Structure formats: C-alpha cells, structure tokens
Amino acid sequence: MELKVLQLYAAVVVLLLCSSVNFIQSPTDVFGPVALVEPTPSAARDFGAVVSDAPFAVLRPGSPADIARLLSALSSAPGRPRAAVAARGAGHSLHGQAQVRGGIVVEMRALPRAVEVVRRGEGGGAYADVGAGALWVEVLEECLKAGLAPRSWTDYLYLTVGGTLSNGGISGQAFKHGPQISNVLELEVVTGTGEEVTCSPTKSPELFFAVLGGLGQFGIITRARIPLQVAPPKVRWVRAFYDSFQTFTKDQELLVSMPELVDYVEGFMVLDEQSLHSSSIAFPGQVYFSPDFGSDGKKVYYCIEFAVHDFQQEYSTAADHVVELVSGELSYLRPHIYSVGVSYFDFLNRVRMEEESLRSRGLWDVPHPWLNVFVPKHGVTRFKDLLMDTITPGVFEGPILVYPLLTDRWDRNTSAVVPSAPDGVMYIFSVLRSTDPARCGRACVEGILEQHRRVADEACRGGGIGAKQYLARQPSQAHWRDHFGSSWGRFVARKARFDPMHVLGPGQGIFTTTDSASSM
C-alpha cells in the first residue's frame, strides 16, 4: 500500500477508535488506553506459509478489556468504515485463518498467560483456569506441578488454548474423552461487539457453544477453565505394524472399544524407508521392522500406536500386563510389536522431537499444504484409495495419520462440524506434508493444494462418502454452506447475534464485512 494511503487509512481507523483524537497518522500512536503497534512480519505469516496478508496494525492486549475496547469501538459505528480483526494465537493455521489483510491482528500471546490450578472439595474434581494465549505445553508444565493434567490433547503442544478451542483439538485421547472442545467447563469471551462475557453450558450457553469450534467468528476467547485428571507419571507406548489396511482399521476399532484399558489410540501410514525413519524419531524404543516396499515401491504398511497410563512409580507390571492383554487381541504382523516406557510429559511432547529434526533439515519453516478430513467409517477404504492416487512414495515428506474417533464424544451444540456416521465411528486422515522449496516451488505447492481440493470435493461434496474437512479454509461461501450442512442456519444466526458487523475472523473466508447483519 502506498505510504499516503496507509497514513490516511491509519487516521480513519484511529479516529474511529477514539473520537477525542483529532489526527493520528501511524499505528504506533496511542488511542485512549489501547495502543496499536506497527505490524511485525509474523502477523502476516502462519505455519501453512501459503497465504500472507499484511494487517494494518497489531494490538498487544494487556488485558481482555483492551480487546473489548477495540471491538466495541470497531463494531459500534454503523455506516462508518470498519477494520476487521483476527485473533492470532501461535499462528499455526494453514491458510491465513489468523490473518487479516489491512485490518488489526490481536496477538493473544501478549495477554497474561497464568495457569491457575484449583482443586475442588472431596470428589469435586480439579480444573485449571488458563489464559487463552497460553500454549498447551505451558498448561501441562504448570498442571504437572500439582500432579494433574488435562484429559484431551493435540499431538503438538505449541498451540494456544484459544486457537485449538476455536477448531476442535484432537489427538489419540479423543476417542475416550472427546476433543478438547468437549473438555471445557467455562470460558471468558469478548464478543464481536466488545461485550465481556463469562459463559458455560449453563451460563450464556449459546455463546459458550458458539465459540467452541467457532473458527474465531463469534468472539475472542480470553480465558478457559479446563477440567483436570490425575496425571500418570509414566506411559507405556506401543507400536504395532500391519500390511493390510482392513486389519489395521479393524484393530484400531477394537482398541477404541476398550477405553477402560487403553488411554490413547492413533496410527499412521508407512510409505517408505524415510517415513519409517522419521516416524521413529520420537519413539525411544528399538524397532526391527524392515519391510519390503515392493519392486515399484508402492507397497504401503501401517502402524498402530496405542498407550496405557502407568501409575506405578517404580518399575511396574500393571501397565505391562494391560499391554500384554490388549496386544494378544490384535492381528499385527508378528513379531512386529514394540513397547517402551516413557514419562508422561515426554509422551505428550513427542512431536517436539520431530519438529527439531525437521528444523535441522530446513523443513519446518516451509510451505505446508496439509489436508485434514473426517471420514465416516463406511468411507475409509474409498477415501484412502482416493488419497493414495495423490501420494508418490519416495517423494512425499511428512506423516499421514489415520485413526478412529467416536462421534458421540462430540457435543453437537458446539460450532464444530463432524460427519454423520451411522455406526458412530469416523476416522481422521491427516496428510501433514512439508515441501522442500528446493524441490517444490510455488507452482508445485499450488498443484498439491489443487489435488487436495479435488480429493476434498469428491469426499465431502460428491461421491457419497459424506466426509468433512477439519482446519480447512473453504474456497467459497457455497463450500462453507455445504460444510455446515444443516447447521449453517445456526452458524449464521450466531454470527448475527455475537458479531453482527462481521468484524471478526475474515481469514476464514466465511463472511465478509459487506454482508454484515445490517446488509443481510
């Protein structure tokens, strides 16, 4: 943007925010008690590294009241120019969802990130009150000091509480406890109109359920109350290999039917030697599996990963016994099962090692054309075949996770969308690709994204699979309507109620400021 245009825009926005200020030319100027600052490069960047939209300014809130003042000023001036606002957690979005071209990015990491652990009376359970800008790893570290931990996780812990609660938050515990959005007791939210509200399933429930999985559309979460359980000191972590997709998924479903024994279930595809090697980086046990990938290199293997919490302080047998019992029921490629004992923290933080390895190979700060799809059980084989048409073993870099989730663990009152699965089982397919810029330039990344669009269209819109994408920015409002299906009307009504001027979350591409409630 030309400097003069920028200055003019700055003046308009700041005047809008504070009528007592007569002329201010730069985002670094202070209005009232809230200061906007010049945008840093990170405000126009995310983990996907595919979209880069520069904001006009950044707000580093010292408290939720700063956010409230900003949103209240921006939304309460009908007919006058408005700037859109995006909350930015850790910026691990994939398609610019936490960005806002020409608007204001609210850096959630600037909010106080204290984690307060509270034990209630006898049998009352415990919870943590957590600033929404805290990373899950910070929550874990603090809770472990009290011997406690949240129940539901993401694989990677360097994501903010507000960021994952705006999506869903899944990992291998979700079959048992539901996603992270099913594990929240209370929230503090600043709505799109600048109202600060404390909400829960019984207090302002409409806002509570709207913001959970709400893609940042209805309010900015500033604090969350997360229920805690007793943390095991250790975990027995098991991997078992398969050469048949059918047997692999059948055994995964068996494992998720044993929540009283098993605490975590995931799985991934083994495409080639490299994928076997990189998936072993975090797993501290020896693995003597050297499969034959066939003369054309197209034979694919699968690995189930499950874990059992181990509460014994010293060398224990209880968890070993459970692992033995459960393993006896599985039909893996004998003898390829491997088990190792690790601390609970190291287990939950396992992806950090993969991050370090990718960083050392220059493959972390690169474009990530990822695809995440929830597929109902009846469609998994068709979806897997559809997906494999787009994957070339030997060239593909990154894991492909495949594991089952139970749809009844998802609260349908939240804004998150999952497929309807008549037997209650759906799978997450996560294609977590890193592209090496030396081998895959802009056009190549665009080509991969186009392939993903075709796979997603076939799986979600046509073809009868009935899948739903996760973490995706849909290409048009028509796609969003399809995505939400019968809950689209509720989503639009929630927007009209909590952010009628469409100030929040333009990076998701669901609503524009021009179709705000006043013009709808």
Query: Which residue's CB is nearer to ligand FAD, number 211 or number 300?
Result: 211
> For residues 354 and 275, is the Cβ–Cβ distance under 8 A?
no
Q: How far is the CB of 98 from ligand FAD (least distance, A)?
A: 4
Query: Which residue's CB is nearer to ligand FAD, number 363 or number 455?
Result: 363
- Would you call the peptide bond into 335 cis, given omega within 30 degrees of 0 as the criterion? yes
Of the listed pieces 21-29, 319-327, 495-503, 504-512, which binds ligand FAD according to CB under 6 A? 504-512
From residue 404, alpha-carbon distances to 323, 424, 491 in Å are 19, 10, 27
> For residues 67 and 61, is the Cβ–Cβ distance under 8 A?
yes
Binding residue (CB under 6 A) for ligand FAD from 45, 69, 82, 92: 92
Query: Which residue's CB is nearer to ligand FAD, number 95 or number 236?
Result: 95
Under the criterion CB under 6 A, does residue 98 sit at the interface with ligand FAD? yes
Under the criterion CB under 6 A, does residue 87 sit at the interface with ligand FAD? yes
How buried is 167 (Cβ within 10 angstroms: 0-12 exposed, 13-18 middle, 19+ buried)?
buried
Assess whether 141 carries a catalytic annotation. no
Under the criterion CB under 6 A, does residue 97 sit at the interface with ligand FAD? yes
For 401, residues 6+ apart whose C-beta sits below 8 A from its C-beta are 155, 266, 267, 268, 428, 429, 430, 432
Assess whether 122 carries a catalytic annotation. no
| Interface size with ligand FAD, residues (CB under 6 A) | 36
Under the criterion CB under 6 A, does residue 47 sit at the interface with ligand FAD? yes
Backbone angles phi and psi of 25, in degrees to 5:
-105, -10
Binding residue (CB under 6 A) for ligand FAD from 57, 117, 132, 231: 132
- In a 3-state reduction of DSSP, which class is residue 53? coil
Under the criterion CB under 6 A, does residue 367 sit at the interface with ligand FAD? no
- In a 3-state reduction of DSSP, which class is residue 42? helix
d(CA 439, CA 465): 33
Site string for ligand FAD, 143-182 (x = CB under 6 A): -----------xxx--xx-xxx-xxxxxx-----------
Binding residue (CB under 6 A) for ligand FAD from 27, 55, 89, 466: 89
CB atoms within 10 A of CB 42: 12
**Set 46, 138, 142, 155: catalytic member:** 155
What is the chain's Cα-based Rg?
Answer: 23
Of the listed pieces 82-90, 232-240, 315-323, 442-450, which binds ligand FAD according to CB under 6 A? 82-90
The torsion angle over the Cα atoms of residues 192, 227, 473 and 495, rounded to 10 degrees, is -30
Residue ranges in contact with ligand FAD by CB under 6 A: 46-47, 86-93, 97-98, 108, 132, 154-156, 159-160, 162-164, 166-171, 215-216, 220-221, 471, 505, 507-508
Q: Which residues are catalytic?
A: 92, 155, 266
